[in-house]
Amino acid sequence: MSFREKSSWVVFLALLLVYGGYYLKSGFSPPLLGAEGEKAVFAVSQFGLVIGLVVIMIIGHIVAAISSPKTADDPEDEREKLISLRSDSWGGHVTGFGVLLAISTVYFTDATAISVAYWALLALVAGELVSHGARILAYRGVVNA
């Protein structure tokens, strides 16, 4: 397994662990924040999620680089560039569609800014999961990227 494939696995699993846990714990329901103190707690919890994600990714990439020292510094070949372009395109479509849905909640419901941000973040995470999942599948030869 090349370093780039391991890197995609690290990002995919880290996102799934951190944000999958967050969204499952919240029951896929945006927080109802009324007081300023609740908003501060929400902001700190989001900051904690990002810090946790970064720490997991750093440790994962260090392990991936140690386990694949020969391919860690190799430049991308044409196949890898094509895989990156196509998988990023698929992830971008998912993100864009999800953000449009998040924004449309303002027009069809009594959505708050926090709930729109909640759904937009879900769209971003889903797009990244699709992007890195497609890379993994392409590296494995399951899909033709």
Q: What is the 3-state secondary structure (H, E, C) of 69-87?
A: CCCCCCCCCHHHHHHHHHH
| pLDDT string in tens for the chain (145-residue length) | 889 999 999 999 999 999 999 999 888 888 776 666 677 777 788 899 999 999 999 999 999 999 988 888 888 889 889 999 999 999 999 999 999 999 998 888 888 888 888 899 999 999 999 999 999 999 988 877 5
**Do the Cβ atoms of 10 and 62 come closer than 8 Å?**
no
Please state, in angstroms and as integers, the Cα–Cα distance from residue 53 to each residue in 36, 57, 74, 77, 140, following that order.
Answer: 26, 6, 26, 28, 25
Give the three-state DSSP class for 12: helix
Residue type, 69: P
**Euclidean distance between CA atoms 96 and 145, whole angstroms:** 20
**Euclidean distance between CA atoms 88 and 103, whole angstroms:** 22
Residue type, 93: H
Q: Give me the pLDDT at residue 7, please.
A: 94
The number of beta carbons lying within 10 Å of the beta carbon of residue 88 is: 17
- DSSP annotation of 31: -
H/E run at residue 116: helix 113-140
The number of beta carbons lying within 10 Å of the beta carbon of residue 17 is: 13
Domain ranges of the chain: 3-140
**Euclidean distance between CA atoms 142 and 120, whole angstroms:** 29
**Euclidean distance between CA atoms 25 and 23, whole angstroms:** 5
Q: Give me the pLDDT at residue 18, please.
A: 95
